[in-house]
């Protein structure tokens, strides 16, 4: 038994044949012009669903899409269609009403049923403890029709929502295969770490990255390689490139300066950067960067130096792309970092929505990235990296 999984029951611990399994999936996806996009999460959750169905379980999927009030807050009929690419299933536009309950009762062994968006129930997202959620009408009604609860939705484990924390209080509960993989990989990056450990931090969300940097420095990280917008903040903070002050930048730059002082030589900064000139990529050394000039990527020299550090690492944790990878001209830095990670013998963990999207967009093939785990989680990944407990995980621990 893997050390990271010792606290949990897995599908292997249950005899699911003929049993009704409530299965919490995360198939929440990007929506463009009302159309739900196919996401890896859908395929990965479908694999566990297929396994349960092959083991003759009656599988009832609980899932959400978007948040109430948002443009992406939709029923799950489109998700049913997308899931059908991988597994046969029925769908009802009901969650706990008579239609849903009848559909659950009528399931035959091996059949799969998707219920509607659980966030359409006000009870789902109330700010309540697991014990309180367990007493909700939603949980009581559906739990009375089920035998087992399996959670495969690591990416929503940071939410203390009814479908995440309520059912494990009243049903035998375990984790699905995707959740197993996420927990094993995150455990290797946060608990059972092999050194040297290197963080590669970029993207455009400074608050999140600063939190990770502070935590990593406290835990004794060996190197932090800064890229993307984050790299620019540190270059401003160190006074290497000029900055005309605006309030928000000033705040971020101030925090970057404090972190830089604390991290000393453990934090690395770009040596060169790419800017846009007449729509084309131009690499320049730092002393040629003008005040407030937009920086789109890290340069070649930086890629090489960072590549060397990654090569000698035993653990690499990456969050956020190295540049504006959506534009072909500026995908080079992100691609080179991915390549260095793929070529290294280190165990690597990549996460955060944009990082995982960037892998496909820059044309890397995940199957070729041995020894690399790409987390499908955003907020939950971040929380876990910061060593914070996730309610949806805590509640699944064996009692
Ligand atoms: C995600 O997409 O990160 C999860 O589905 C959680 O979504 P939420 O942030 O709306 O809870």
Model pLDDT for residues 289-305, shown as the tens digit of each residue: 998 789 999 999 999 99
380 CA: nearest ligand 1 atom: 3
Q: Is the CB of 163 under 6 A from ligand 1?
A: no
Render 219-281 in DSSP notation, one character per residue: TT-SEEEE-HHHHHHHHHHTTSS-----HHHHHHHHHHHHHHHHHGGGEE--SEEEEEETTEE
Residues 6+ apart with CB under 8 A from 250: none
Q: What percent of the chain has pLDDT over 90?
A: 85
**Whole-model pTM?**
0.93
| Mean confidence (pLDDT) of the chain | 94
Distance CA 9, CA 397 (A): 8
Residues 59-96 pLDDT 10s: 999 999 999 999 999 999 999 999 999 999 999 999 99
Compute, in angstroms, the gap from residue 156 CA to the centroid of ligand 1.
Answer: 6
Strand partners, 8: none
159 CA: nearest ligand 1 atom: 11
Contact 242, 291 (CB under 8 A): yes
For residue 393, whether the previous peptide bond is cis, meaning omega lies within 30 degrees of 0, is no
Q: Is the CB of 187 under 6 A from ligand 1?
A: no
In this predicted structure, what is the pLDDT of residue 94?
A: 98
Is pLDDT of 1 > 70? Answer: no
Residue nearest to atom 9 of ligand 1 (CA): 379
Is pLDDT of 359 > 90? Answer: no
Domains of the chain: 3-179 (3.40.50.1260), 193-385 (3.40.50.1260)
Distance CA 344, CA 372 (A): 10
Is pLDDT of 39 > 90? Answer: no
Structure confidence at residue 368 as a pLDDT band (50, 70, 90): confident
361 versus 252: the higher-pLDDT residue is 252
Q: Is the CB of 117 under 6 A from ligand 1?
A: no
Q: Average the pLDDT over each of 234-238, 245-249, 296-300, 354-358 and give the range with the smallest value.
A: 245-249
Residue nearest to atom 7 of ligand 1 (CA): 156
Distance CA 139, CA 143 (A): 6
Residues 118-166 pLDDT 10s: 999 999 999 999 999 999 999 999 999 999 999 999 999 999 999 999 9
Q: Which of 64, 117, 124 gets mutated to test ligand 1 (max ligand atoms within 8 A of its CB)?
A: 64
Contact 147, 172 (CB under 8 A): yes
Distance CA 306, CA 193 (A): 20
Compute, in angstroms, the gap from residue 155 CA to the centroid of ligand 1.
Answer: 7
Residues 173-226 pLDDT 10s: 999 999 999 999 999 988 889 999 999 999 888 999 999 999 999 999 999 999
Is pLDDT of 348 > 90? Answer: yes
Is pLDDT of 399 > 90? Answer: no
Q: Is the CB of 378 under 6 A from ligand 1?
A: yes
Is pLDDT of 286 > 80? Answer: yes
Element containing residue 50 per DSSP (H, E):
helix 40-54
**pLDDT, average across residues 104-114:** 98
335 versus 192: the higher-pLDDT residue is 335
Q: Is the CB of 26 under 6 A from ligand 1?
A: yes
Residue nearest to atom 2 of ligand 1 (CA): 28
Distance CA 88, CA 80 (A): 9
Q: Is the CB of 231 under 6 A from ligand 1?
A: no
Distance CA 220, CA 155 (A): 27
Strand partners, 273: 284, 298
């Amino acid at each position: 038994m893997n050390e990271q999984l010792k606290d949990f029951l897995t599908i292997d611990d249950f005899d699911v044949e003929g049993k009704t399994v409530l299965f919490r999936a995360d198939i929440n996806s990007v929506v463009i012009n009302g159309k739900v996009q196919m996401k890896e999460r859908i395929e990965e959750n479908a694999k566990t669903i297929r396994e349960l169905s092959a083991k003759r379980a009656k599988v009832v999927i609980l899932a959400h899409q978007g948040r109430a009030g948002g443009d992406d807050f939709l029923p799950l009929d489109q998700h049913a269609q997308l899931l059908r690419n991988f597994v046969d299933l029925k769908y009802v536009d009901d969650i706990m009403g008579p239609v849903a309950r009848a559909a659950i009762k009528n399931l035959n062994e091996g059949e799969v049923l998707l219920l509607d968006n659980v966030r359409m129930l006000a009870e789902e997202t109330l700010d309540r403890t697991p014990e309180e959620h367990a007493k909700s009408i939603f949980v009581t009604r559906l739990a009375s029709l089920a035998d087992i609860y399996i959670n495969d939705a690591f990416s929503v484990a940071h939410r203390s929502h009814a479908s995440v924390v309520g059912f494990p209080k009243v049903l035998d509960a375990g984790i699905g295969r995707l959740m197993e993989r996420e927990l094993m990989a995150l455990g290797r990056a946060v608990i059972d770490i092999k050194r040297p450990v290197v963080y590669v931090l970029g993207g455009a969300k400074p608050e999140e990255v600063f939190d990770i940097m502070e935590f990593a420095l406290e835990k004794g990280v060996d190197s932090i390689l800064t890229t993307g917008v984050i790299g620019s903040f540190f270059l401003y903070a160190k006074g290497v490139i000029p900055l005309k002050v605006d309030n928000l930048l000033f705040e971020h730059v101030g925090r970057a300066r404090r972190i830089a002082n604390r991290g000393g030589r453990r934090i690395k900064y770009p040596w060169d950067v790419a800017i846009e000139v007449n729509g084309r990529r131009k690499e320049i050394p730092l002393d040629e960067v003008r005040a407030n000039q937009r920086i789109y990527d890290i340069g070649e020299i930086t890629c090489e130096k960072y590549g060397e550090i990654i090569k000698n690492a035993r653990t690499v944790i990456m969050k956020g792309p190295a540049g504006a990878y959506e534009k072909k001209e500026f995908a080079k830095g992100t691609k080179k970092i991915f390549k260095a990670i793929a070529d290294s013998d280190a165990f690597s963990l990549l996460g955060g929505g944009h990082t995982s999207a960037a892998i496909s967009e820059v044309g890397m093939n995940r199957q070729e990235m041995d020894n690399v785990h790409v987390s499908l989680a955003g907020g939950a990944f971040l929380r876990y990296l910061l060593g914070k407990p996730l309610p949806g995980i805590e509640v699944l621990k064996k009692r």
